[in-house]
């Protein structure tokens, strides 16, 4: 019996050209360039492998999804038809393969519409329920694969900070104030006859968003996920500043400007050298107030602190820093992962007990669902205190602690360079 010819010496180009001719006769638009590309692809693959032969042809010779069924029918008839005689060695080798039909897994395109829809609905329903269960799973209990899936979902979260009205105005169709300059200009075009009255309204801009993330050892199970959330916020919102603190404060806004999340988190971790270390919340917040907040960074902004409240510093420093931060910012939000889904959560650590009178809203940041609630609630934080507290109390599981603030009237603002009349004696004349 003669030996089987070696595969490298088998001239399979003519067979592929004949197969392309069969496809052309069946109605497929196969050109000479497609045939050359098919032969070039198979020169780098194994022509005796039925899977390589099928997918190389389907990738290079099929241009429309409607032609897949015709291609499958011609491929089976040309290469795997047992009733016809084949003189080409490559065709003989393909037909002699006992695993030919089993290895070729051609997707069916003739399924019933109803059955396909039911299967798709079942698959989508299973995926939706699985994602929903993953959203309510704590970051500390997730496996590395689940954390990777959560970060991919978290990258699509879009944050919208609240808006505020500025002192500058812009032209508008309707507004509280008329626009005399524009009205006179349009009247001069009409030879002095005013045709209509134009209006102006105050401009609206986004409030700044400042995120202060605790990266100490007690927050090790949540710090990376919260930093991923901060990366998504920095890329979606307008003015976003991100700081990390353990024993000292570190600004990582520049490190999070990288587009790829993994590289951005790695750069931020290198910048914060006290990662997984001790915790000094009071000293870190005091440094933030002295170096950043007093310069106008958080003036009128939303400050979000992500920490469990375990502080090893001086409680008086923490209380003083939070009091000054409350006066400088518009809203102060605290994310405590230990809160979880407990609607009756009450602060038990010393740091949280000190911070409770100064917090406008206490949320949980232990899972993706709580972060989505923060993203939903964020646009409403620019409302007035009464309306804001009412909207916060409507959300189940997110109790507001704004009512625990000191009911005493606020202090008078100190005006630098001016004398207080109440402090002057009655017999003393105040110079004009």
SS3 for 365-395 is CCCHHHHHHHHHHHHHHHCCHHHHHHHHHCC
157's torsion region: left (phi>0), alpha (psi -120 to 50) or beta? Answer: beta
Question: Is pLDDT above 60 for 6?
Answer: no
Per DSSP, 48 falls in state T
* pLDDT (average), residues 148-173: 83
Neighbours of 80 (CB within 10 A): 15
Mean pLDDT of the chain: 75
* pLDDT (average), residues 116-142: 60
Q: For residue 208, give the nearest of 233, 239, 254 by alpha carbon.
A: 239
| 232-149-339-327 Cα dihedral, nearest 10 degrees | 0
From CA 428, how far away is CA 97, in angstroms rounded? 113
**Which neighbouring-strand residues pair with 240?**
209
How confident is the model over 275-304, as pLDDT tens digits? Answer: 888 889 999 999 999 999 888 888 888 999
Question: Is pLDDT above 50 for 394?
Answer: no
Q: For residue 56, give the nearest of 75, 69, 70, 73 by alpha carbon.
A: 75
From CA 231, how far away is CA 303, in angstroms rounded? 16
**Which neighbouring-strand residues pair with 306?**
213, 335
DSSP string across 253-282: TTGGGSSSHHHHHHHHHHH-TTTTS---HH
**pLDDT the model gives residue 404:** 40
Q: Are 312 and 283 in contact (CB under 8 A)?
A: no
Q: Which residue spans of the chain are classified as CATH 3.40.50.410?
A: 209-404
pLDDT band for position 44 (cuts 50, 70, 90): confident
Identify which has the larger pLDDT, 391 or 235: 235
Q: Which CATH architecture has domain 209-404?
A: 3-Layer(aba) Sandwich (3.40)
Question: Is pLDDT above 90 for 334?
Answer: yes
**pLDDT the model gives residue 130:** 62
How confident is the model over 255-279, as pLDDT tens digits? Answer: 888 888 888 888 888 888 888 888 8
Q: For residue 147, give the nearest of 217, 215, 213, 226 by alpha carbon.
A: 226
Identify which has the larger pLDDT, 191 or 304: 304
Instruction: Map tokens 């496996």 to a residue.
Output: 143
């Amino acid at each position: 019996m003669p030996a089987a010819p070696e595969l490298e010496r088998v001239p399979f180009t003519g067979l592929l050209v004949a197969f392309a001719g069969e496809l052309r006769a069946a109605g497929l638009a196969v050109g000479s360039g497609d045939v050359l590309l098919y032969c070039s692809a198979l020169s780098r693959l194994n022509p005796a492998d039925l899977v390589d032969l099928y997918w190389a042809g389907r990738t290079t010779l099929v241009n429309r999804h409607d032609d897949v069924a015709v291609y499958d029918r011609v491929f089976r008839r040309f290469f795997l038809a047992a009733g016809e005689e084949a003189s080409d060695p490559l065709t003989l080798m393909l037909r002699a393969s006992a695993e030919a039909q089993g290895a070729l897994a051609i997707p069916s395109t003739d399924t019933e519409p109803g059955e396909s829809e039911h299967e798709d609905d079942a698959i989508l329903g299973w995926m939706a329920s699985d994602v929903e269960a993953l959203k309510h799973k704590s970051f500390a209990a997730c496996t590395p694969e689940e954390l990777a899936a959560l970060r991919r979902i978290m990258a699509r979260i879009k944050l919208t900070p609240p808006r505020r009205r500025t002192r500058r105005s812009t032209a508008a169709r309707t507004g509280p104030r008329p626009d005399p300059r524009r009205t006179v200009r349009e009247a001069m075009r009409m030879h002095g006859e005013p045709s209509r009255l134009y209006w102006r309204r105050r401009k609206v801009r986004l409030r700044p968003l400042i995120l202060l993330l605790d990266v100490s050892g007690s927050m090790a199970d949540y710090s990376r996920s919260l930093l991923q959330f901060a990366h998504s916020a920095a890329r979606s919102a307008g003015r976003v500043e991100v700081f990390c603190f353990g024993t000292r404060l570190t600004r990582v806004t520049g490190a999070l400007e990288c587009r790829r999340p993994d590289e951005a988190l790695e750069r931020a971790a290198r910048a914060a050298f006290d990662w997984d270390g001790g915790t000094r919340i009071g000293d870190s917040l005091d440094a933030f107030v002295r170096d950043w907040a007093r310069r106008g960074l958080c003036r009128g902004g939303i400050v979000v602190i992500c920490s469990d409240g375990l502080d090893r510093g001086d409680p008086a420093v923490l209380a003083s820093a939070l009091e000054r931060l409350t006066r400088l910012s518009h809203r102060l939000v605290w994310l405590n992962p230990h809160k979880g889904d407990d609607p009756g959560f009450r602060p038990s650590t010393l740091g949280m007990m000190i911070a409770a009178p100064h917090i406008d809203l206490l949320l949980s940041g232990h899972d993706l669902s709580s972060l989505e609630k923060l993203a939903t609630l964020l646009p409403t934080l620019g409302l007035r205190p009464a309306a804001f507290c009412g909207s916060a109390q409507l959300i189940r599981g997110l109790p507001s602690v704004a009512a625990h603030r000191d009911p005493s009237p606020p202090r008078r603002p100190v005006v630098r360079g001016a004398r207080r009349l109440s402090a002057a004696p009655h017999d003393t004349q105040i110079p004009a």
